[in-house]
Amino acid sequence: MALLPVLLDGRDGRATPDMAKESSTRPTSRMKTILCFALLLMPAAAWAARRKIPVLVDTDIGTDIDDAFALALVARSPELQLLGVTTVSGDTQARARLAAKLLWVAGLRRVPVAAGTPGKPLPMEQTRWAKGFRSPELLREGAVTFLRSEILRRPGQVTIIAIGPLTNLAALLKSDRALAPKIRRIVMMGGSIARGYDDERRPVAEYNIASDPAAAQVVFSSGVPILMCPLDVTAMLQLRHEARHRIFTELTPLTDALTLLYHLWNQRTPTLFDPMAVAMVIEPSLCQTERLAIRVDAQGFTRVAKGEPPNATVALHTDPAKFFQFYLSRVAPEKASAPTALLQLPR
C-alpha cells in the first residue's frame, strides 16, 4: 500500500490538475495503471493456485505403512492440486475407505476416491481404522473410469503418482490408446536398477513391479513420460525413532492418524519408499536422475536396455538427510529446525 502515493503523483499522494486533465484525455492509460496496481496487490495465494500441479494418486494404501505417509505429504504440499485418489490390489474398497478417511482427517474433504478391481486377499490391518467409514467422496465408479474422466477433463496437464502395482494404469492405457498423449507424466515408486532392499547391493524384483509385471510392461511401453523412483533412492529411507517421535508428537489430526496407523501396522521402522515419488513431483533436485531404456521382464525385474531409446527418467542417487528434512518440514513443521543428524541414528 505504500506504493499508492507514488502512483498518484510521485510525491505525497495528492492528485494534481495536470493529472485530472490526463485522466480525461487518456482514460486507457489510467485504466492500465489501475489494473497493474491491482495485479501487484493480488494475494500470493492466488498466484500460487495458478501454479498448482494437478495430480492423481494411485495407491495400495493399507498394507505397508509408507502409502499413508505419502498421502500425508500430498496433503501438506500446497504445490499440488489433488484431483483424486484411486486404489489398487487386494480389497480395493477397504483401501478406498482408508484413503478417504485419511484425507478427511487431513482436511481434504472434497477429494474423490475410487476403488480399482479387487485382487487376491492381502494383509491390510490398517484398514480396520476406516471400517464403516462413509463419505460422498467414495465413488461408485471404478478407478479406471475415474482416471479417464479426470485426464480427459485436463488433457496434457495431469501427473499420475503411482505408488502401488501398476494394474490400474495398465488397464487405463489399454482401454483407450488415445489417452497416453493426454497424460502429462507418470511419477512412480517402483523397480530396482543397482540395489535391492535394505543393504542388498544387487537389483531385485521390486514389489510394485513384481506384483503385476504385465501391467508394468504396458506402462513402460506406452510412451507416457515416466519418472521412476526405484529402490536405489528409496530403500535407505528408514524413518528412525527420533523422526517418528517428531511426527507422532506433532499432535495434529493428520499426524495422530499416522500414529494410529503405524501401531496397526505393528512393525518397528517404516521405510518411506512411496513419499519419495511425491517429493520428486515437488522438488526434483532431491535425486540425481538419468534417462534410461527400461525393460520389464516376466519376473518383474526392471532391466536397463543399453543401446535402446530411453523411455524413463530414473532416479539413481539421493541424500536421505535432505529428503527427511524436506518431508519433516511439511508433515511435522513445528520442529523443522531439529538437527537432521538425529535422523541417521540406527534403531
Q: How confident is the model at residue 274 (pLDDT cuts 50, 70, 90)?
A: very high
Q: What pLDDT, on a 0 to 100 scale, did the predictor assign at position 20? A: 43
Q: What pLDDT, on a 0 to 100 scale, did the predictor assign at position 199? A: 86
From the list 193, 275, 278, 272, the residue with the least C-alpha distance to 235 is 272
Q: What pLDDT, on a 0 to 100 scale, did the predictor assign at position 72? A: 98
Average pLDDT over residues 89-106: 98
Evaluate if residue 22 carries a pLDDT over 90.
Answer: no
What string of H, E and C letters represents the secondary structure of 79-127? CEEEEEEEECCCCHHHHHHHHHHHHHHCCCCCCCEEECCCCCCCCCHHH
Evaluate if residue 339 carries a pLDDT over 50.
Answer: no
Q: Looking at 18-27, 202-211, 295-304, which range is the least confident one?
A: 18-27
Q: What pLDDT, on a 0 to 100 scale, did the predictor assign at position 245? A: 97
Evaluate if residue 335 carries a pLDDT over 70.
Answer: no
SS3 247: helix
Task: Please name the residue ranges forming H helices in the chain.
Answer: 4-8, 17-25, 27-41, 44-50, 66-75, 92-105, 143-153, 167-175, 207-210, 213-220, 241-248, 253-265, 273-282, 320-331
Average pLDDT over residues 282-301: 98
In the chain, what are the domains? Answer: 53-344 (3.90.245.10)
SS3 223: coil
> Residue with C-alpha cell 521390486?
206
The pLDDT tens digits for 29-56 are 555 554 554 444 444 444 445 689 999 9
Q: How confident is the model at residue 19 (pLDDT cuts 50, 70, 90)?
A: very low
Average pLDDT over residues 207-220: 98
3 Cα distance to chain centroid: 39
Q: What pLDDT, on a 0 to 100 scale, did the predictor assign at position 32? A: 53
Average pLDDT over residues 222-238: 98
Q: What pLDDT, on a 0 to 100 scale, did the predictor assign at position 338? A: 45
SS3 299: coil
Q: How far apart are CA 67 and CA 78, in angstroms?
A: 19
Q: Looking at 40-44, 91-95, 249-253, which range is the least confident one?
A: 40-44
- The C-alpha cell of 339 is what? 538437527
Average pLDDT over residues 294-314: 98
Q: What pLDDT, on a 0 to 100 scale, did the predictor assign at position 29? A: 56
Q: How far apart are CA 296 and CA 163, in angstroms?
A: 17
DSSP letters for 141-171: S-HHHHHHHHHHHSTTTPEEEEES-SHHHHH
Q: How many CA atoms lie within 13 A of 231 on its CB side?
A: 22
Average pLDDT over residues 242-267: 97
The residue among 10 and 250 whose pLDDT is bigger is 250
Evaluate if residue 14 carries a pLDDT over 60.
Answer: no
SS3 252: coil
From the list 128, 137, 56, 119, the residue with the least C-alpha distance to 94 is 128
Q: How confident is the model at residue 2 (pLDDT cuts 50, 70, 90)?
A: very low
SS3 286: helix
From the list 171, 161, 107, 180, the residue with the least C-alpha distance to 276 is 161
Taking CA atoms, 75 is separated from 43, 107, 152, 283, in Å, by 22, 8, 24, 15
Q: What pLDDT, on a 0 to 100 scale, did the predictor assign at position 50? A: 61
Q: How far apart are CA 76 and CA 254, in angstroms?
A: 10
User: Rounded mean pLDDT of the chain?
Assistant: 88
The pLDDT tens digits for 152-204 are 999 999 999 999 999 999 999 999 999 999 999 999 999 999 999 988 899 99
